[in-house]
Amino acid sequence: MILLESLRLYTPATLLAREAFSSIKVGDLEIPKGLSVWVPVLAIHHDKTIWGEDADEFKPERFSEGVAKACKNPMAFMPFSFGPRNCVGQNFAMMEAKIVLCMLLSQFRFHLSPSYRHAPICILTLQPKHGVPIILRHFRP
């Protein structure tokens, strides 16, 4: 749940670009062949009409019943894109993140430094403007 909520708030790809291979009608919208379509993933992941009034808050429990029930539209969660052309490294990235997180949490306790100021900026990807100063304490069970 923590990883999914982190990916929602701080998605690795803030925009997705696709090209229409043929003309298509989506609702009342006509999309001609060859048109580039940009999907604003970051905006969708923070949309209060999809995720609720707490869309900007870190609430991992929103994924407690899985991705399909986390919001009003299960296709709105797309940190690695969606469908047949999603990120080929998605499963590897998730597995790697889980393993690293388990290894770190078993050895250390993390605390944000009092000097931390939350200021994400988008430079191709979403990243902290001032870094993330943390205090690590070795954990001995």
Single-letter residue type at 97: A
Residue whose tokens read 């001032």 = 130
Single-letter residue type at 48: K
Q: Residue 27 — left, alpha, or beta (φ > 0 → left; ψ -120 to 50 → alpha)?
A: left
Query: Could you say which DSSP state residue 62 is in?
Result: G
Is residue 87 annotated as involved in ligand binding?
Answer: yes
Residue ranges of the annotated binding site for heme are 87
Residue ranges of the annotated binding site are 87
